[in-house]
Amino acid sequence: MNINFQRTVDRFAGVPICALLSLVESLRNILGVAANPSPPRRILVIMLSEMGSLVLAYPMFMRLKQQYPDAPLHVMLFSKNREVLDLLGVIPEANVLTINDRSLAGFAMDSLGAIKKMRTLKFDVVIDCELFSRVSSILSYFSGAPVRVGFHRHTQEGLYRGSFINRPVMYNPYRHLSQQFLTMVAAIASRTVPTAKEAPAASIMNPPPLAFAENELEQVTAQLYADFPALQGEKLVLVYPSGGILPIRAWPIENYSRLCASILGDGCAVAVIGLKEDKPMAQIITAHCQSPCCVDLTGYTKSVRHLLAIFYRASLLVTNDGGPGQFAALTTIPALVFFGPETPSLYSPQAGNIHCLYSAWSCSPCLTAYNHRNSPCDGDNQCLKQITHDQVLAKVRAMLAAGVSRNIV
């Protein structure tokens, strides 16, 4: 479904449903129906929409397993994000509930099936990790779990989600999302006001690098060279010029074209990565560069795992804020990530191989939890346009000089 359509449905259907469920929950509380099991025997985490957020949630998954080792952990997410969760290896495959968001009808049918399964599994705790999405909070209520953890606006401006979240966590726009996810775990047993009032975690546990089968990387590299012979023996820089479903997050395509030409001039090869729908951007860059060492890999990778295997062949990734930048944290590739409409203070990958460029304009960040990531910007994203080619090229050269040596065969 188109993101604007999703926002419209979430607003016009979600608000009255949340209001109705809040009234039902108030009546249940008056009648003393609500229960409070301790400790939880089965836990569900709802993370529907963002692939990258799954990587940022890794510390939360590990904290849940550490704190509640006897409680089976389940996750609900959109089907398209399933592979990233499987790569993290934190949840048994049988414990994953998926919902198809390609169409409204498919979403409705899968949601009904998910509700039935949730009621059958009888969760004690549901943690809704979505940032003020109403559909996720509605699903958490219909799960039947007596303990429902979720972000709440409290007295702040923000999207209405009703009053039936009985472990409301105050969303903190100044705190990294990984830390806020850890707060969700603390909220399960919290009795403070606001919920989970405690010191931040001393350190964040980053996900380990993805493990590959014996000879898997060699096979991927051999196939890459067979398909693109000009890359063999060259130092490879990957670029991801797409903004995904939020084009405002993209550094200008003309800047990417100029940068790629400069990288080629330094004696490196360049590959443009992305989904098949990103191919027009790749064609702009390859047409500008006019070099056999500038290749189009949009739509080439068969899976996220395949993409990460190519990361291990490359020497550097240059990317807009989005999935590839988060996925780089699962590998050792040095990555340069552009931020502007969103801030690295909240969303940057936590791994040591990631470097962020952020110009911090007066209106940045403009994509927030409070506006459903619906920017007031007219499309003239100066926060990214003012990150110059020369600035990026200097950083690229420094990272290539200091980065991890790659085996080039």
Confidence at residue 297, expressed as pLDDT on a 0 to 100 scale: 98
* 250 and 157 together in one domain: no
Q: What angle do CA 182, 185, 186 make, to 5 degrees?
A: 95
* 139 and 233 together in one domain: no
Beta strands, E only, 213-279:
236-240, 269-272
Domain assignment of residue 103, yes or no? yes
Alpha carbons 356 and 99: distance in angstroms, whole number? 32
What is the side-by-side order of every strand in the sheet holding 73-78? 96-99, 73-78, 43-46, 125-128, 147-152, 167-170
Domain with residue 58: its CATH number is 3.40.50.2000
Mean pLDDT of successive 10-residue segments in the chain (409 residues)?
Answer: 80 91 89 70 93 92 95 96 94 95 89 96 95 90 95 82 92 92 94 88 83 94 97 96 93 98 98 96 98 97 96 96 94 96 92 93 90 87 96 97 56
The structural domain count of the chain equals 2
Four-CA torsion 369, 373, 379, 381, nearest 10 degrees: 40
* 21 and 137 together in one domain: yes
* 160 and 221 together in one domain: no
* 227 and 169 together in one domain: no
Domain assignment of residue 395, yes or no? yes
Four-CA torsion 322, 325, 328, 330, nearest 10 degrees: -50
Domain assignment of residue 206, yes or no? no
* 109 and 245 together in one domain: no
Domain assignment of residue 407, yes or no? no
Which tokens go with 211?
């493990």
Q: Which contiguous run of DSSP H or E holds residue 221?
A: helix 216-227
Phi, psi of 310 (to 5 degrees): -70, -35
Domain assignment of residue 231, yes or no? yes
* 54 and 131 together in one domain: yes
Residue 30, classified by CB atoms within 10 Å of its CB into exposed (0-12), middle (13-18) or buried (19+), is: exposed
Structural domain for 98, as ranges: 3-187
17-to-23, 374, 393 alpha-carbon distances in Å: 10, 22, 51
* 231 and 305 together in one domain: yes
Alpha carbons 147 and 380: distance in angstroms, whole number? 44
**Cβ proximity of 330 and 308 under 8 Å:** yes
Domain assignment of residue 85, yes or no? yes
